Amino acid sequence: MGCQIDAQSQEQTPQLQQSTVSVNDSITSSRETAITRAVDVATPAIVSINVIEVQQVVYQNPFSDFLQDPFFEQFFSHRQSKIIERHVQSLGSGFVISPDGYIVTNHHVAGNALKVTVSLSDGQTLDAELIGADIATDLALLKVSPEEPLDYLNFSTLPEPIVGEWAIALGNPFGLFEASEPSVTVGVVSAAERDLGSQDGRFFHDMIQTDAAINRGNSGGPLINALGEVIGVNTVIYSQTGGSVGLGFAVPGAKAQRIINELRENGKVDRSYYTGISFVEVTPRIAQALDLSDTRGMLIADVDSGSPAEEAGFLPYDLIVALENESIINQEDYIARLYDFRPGDLVVYHVLRNNRKVQLTLQIGRMDG
């Protein structure tokens, strides 16, 4: 006996199919979030960066211990060690900031590059030119020449990220996915204005902290918010193992944008500061001799005649405790704060003079030559 299909059931089949499609669309729509939309916007602008650079390495003669003998030393001491140069290949991440091909990354990724190639998420590979780099903020600017306009990211217009808001890190960890779509990790802004000190001429001050996983190779990639806007440039992690432990740090977007604009216009950041102040760090003995409450701050040892500092009214034994309301603990702190300004800027100094608070305004000069 054949199977019969009721005519009414036949009429309902298209409706059922339409209902199924509607349910599937609804499920797909429910899976989409602010994060997935931000990633969708940002992904085409993320690049992998392949760098060849020159590194200087000290070569130690394997017989150096033998050559310590006074008799042989007179003949071979100059051969015990030498500096050799070698070409090293490394990988990092970056992101496009303009349709004509300007790309942001870290100084430690591309700042000393001999040759740079950039791989886009669609598989294209382009040669890149190093426009400029700034070691102090660990930022660099590259330029490629695309045949067609590139997708790009915008920086957030807000001066500070919101602690607790979504933070999305994109990049190419460990160089595993070159010329393909980036890896995405998600967390929150854990803190703002974190000071990590300095290393190798880089000053990691006022950094954004995030628990979004950042690993080696993510350096130079963007940290974006749920709107798909850049809030920071991923730069450094704190780790005892070399892998992510949820302590990643990014250069704030506002600072990065200012540095990048200078690199784009001048190829460098003007750090030819001159103030005319000579310092000494405050030791416990100095603090006791001058009746200071602690050793924080920078003590002025001398002021050059005719210098910006003399014109501003600084005197020997003034103790600098803050710049523009940012506390100064030691020399590293002072340099990091000063690097936020440029020659010609007016800076408000807070000093202690005979244990009384004095406020002085100094116009930063420019070092000759």
**Residues tagged active-site:** 108, 138, 219
Going 166 to 119 to 253 to 196, the CA torsion angle's sign is positive
10 Å Cβ neighbour count for 369?
4
Of 272, 260, 257, 205, the residue nearest 236 (C-alpha): 205
With CA atoms as reference, report the closest residue to 258 among 177, 162, 151, 137: 137
